[in-house]
Structure formats: C-alpha cells, structure tokens
A and B are shown apart, each in its own frame.
Chain A
Amino acid sequence: KAGVTQTPRYLIKTRGQQVTLSCSPISGHRSVSWYQQTPGQGLQFLFEYFSETQRNKGNFPGRFSGRQFSNSRSEMNVSTLELGDSALYLCASSLGGEGNQPQHFGDGTRLSIL
C-alpha cells in the first residue's frame, strides 16, 4: 500500500511569491492534515480537511490556505511568502472520524524563502 506522497520535496521561492504544495493521501483515507515544522516553533498544526471540508484550523494567518479534492488529494497554498515561512511542511492522512485514528505522514516539502 502506497504511503502519503508529497510533491515537490524541495522548493525555493523569494519573498512575495506564492507557492502550492500537493499531498496524495493513503488510499481510502479521507482526512488530510497539514503541519509546519521549524526549528524555533516545532511542529504546528495548520489545518485539516475531511471530505473536501475544512474541519479544523490552526493559528496561522490567512495567507495559508488549503483545499481538498473529491479524490481526497489536498493542496496547500501560501501567498505573499515571508522569510519566516521557510519550513518543512508535512502532510498527514488518516481514516478520519475520531482523534484516535493515527495519522500517517509523508516525507514533507522543504520550502526555502530567499
């Protein structure tokens, strides 16, 4: 069974640009969550989508947005990039439902802002 796939693995952008990251969940998983990992702030929850609807949202500015398609694939968009957006962005999928369902993570997209 294929795991969670994130593309691209590495990305370099400049301040003010926008970026779109993609995540393909494990087959049959309907929930997709996004996390940001930085040395200073650690792992922080961005948002979660379930059946194309955003169910939960973390404490991030509106520049961070996402969506989920009918096949459960998800994209995350960051507009007007700032230096502080440099991070590893991790996507995780699960069956959804209760919080006891374990989340399975992809290898992440490392975003560097110049």
Chain B
Amino acid sequence: AQSVTQLGSHVSVSEGALVLLRCNYSSSVPPYLFWYVQYPNQGLQLLLKYTTGATLVKGINGFEAEFKKSETSFHLTKPSAHMSDAAEYFCAVSGQGFQKLVFGTGTRLLVSP
C-alpha cells in the first residue's frame, strides 16, 4: 500500500523567508509524487509532479521539490515566501497504472508580514 506523511500540520514563516514543507512517502513500487495547493473555498491546484527522470522538479509560483529515493522524501521548497503563498499544501502519491491519489494530511502555510 502506498502512503505519504506530511510532517507538521502548520508551518509559519515570515514574508521573504525560506519555505520548507516536508513529505515522506511509502511505496512498494516506483512512485509518482505530486504537490497540490488549496486556497480557501477552492479545489486543488497542481504545483508540481515527479514521475521519472530529473529528481529536482520545478513547479509553478517558484516552488520546487527534490525526489530523494534514499530518504523516501519529496520535500517542497520555495526560496522566498510571499503573502499569497498562504494556503494548505498536500503531498500525494500514485502508483503505476492507477489514477488513485493517496494524499497526506496537509500542511497549512502561514505567512506573516
């Protein structure tokens, strides 16, 4: 069975500071990994994905994530936080041949001025 664990239900940063949201996965097969963002009263928006190839993945809005197989991690980072980054972030995993996403519990990012 596949699963993801997001460490920290809330992360607080100051505007301009580094953003680091943690995600560890468990999968018996090579995983496909995704990060989504959810703003209030909206659905999920895809930030980035890892399928195969380059382990450093760049996404939208300046976010990036690095797939580290040895650490079973897929942490999301952004060099400089912006107020508009305040939202809930979800890490998700799917397997080969399946369209089923298994989500982590989410991390709410708070950005203070």
- Of B43, B44, B103, B105, most buried by chain A (CB within 10 Å of CB) is B43
Does any Cβ of A come within 8 Å of B84's Cβ?
A: no
Closest residue of chain B to A46 (Cβ to Cβ) is: B100
Q: Would you give the shortest CB distance from A15 to chain B, in whole angstroms?
A: 25
Does any Cβ of B come within 8 Å of A64's Cβ?
A: no
Does any Cβ of B come within 8 Å of A22's Cβ?
A: no
Number of interface residues of B (CB under 8 A): 26
Residue pair B99, A4 in contact (C-beta under 8 Å): no
Q: Would you give the shortest CB distance from A53 to chain B, in whole angstroms?
A: 12
- Choose from B52, B96, B99 the contact partner of A103 (Cβ within 8 Å): B99
CA–CA, A102 to B42, complex, Å? 18
Q: Which residues in window 70-114 of A have CB below 8 A to B?
A: 90, 92, 94, 96, 98-108
Residue pair B100, A45 in contact (C-beta under 8 Å): yes
Closest residue of chain A to B43 (Cβ to Cβ) is: A105
Closest residue of chain B to A91 (Cβ to Cβ) is: B43
Q: Would you give the shortest CB distance from A107 to chain B, in whole angstroms?
A: 4
Residue pair A45, B102 in contact (C-beta under 8 Å): yes
CA–CA, A55 to B97, complex, Å? 10
Q: Would you give the shortest CB distance from B35 to chain A, in whole angstroms?
A: 11
Does any Cβ of B come within 8 Å of A33's Cβ?
A: yes
Closest residue of chain B to A4 (Cβ to Cβ) is: B43
Question: Which chain A residues lie closer than 8 Å to B43 at the CB level?
Answer: 4, 6, 90, 105-108
Q: A105-B45, A107-B42 are in contact. Are A99 and B103 (CB under 8 A)?
A: no
Residue pair A99, B32 in contact (C-beta under 8 Å): yes
Residue pair A102, B46 in contact (C-beta under 8 Å): yes
Residue pair A33, B49 in contact (C-beta under 8 Å): no
CA–CA, A56 to B99, complex, Å? 8
Residue pair B97, A48 in contact (C-beta under 8 Å): no
Residue pair B103, A42 in contact (C-beta under 8 Å): yes
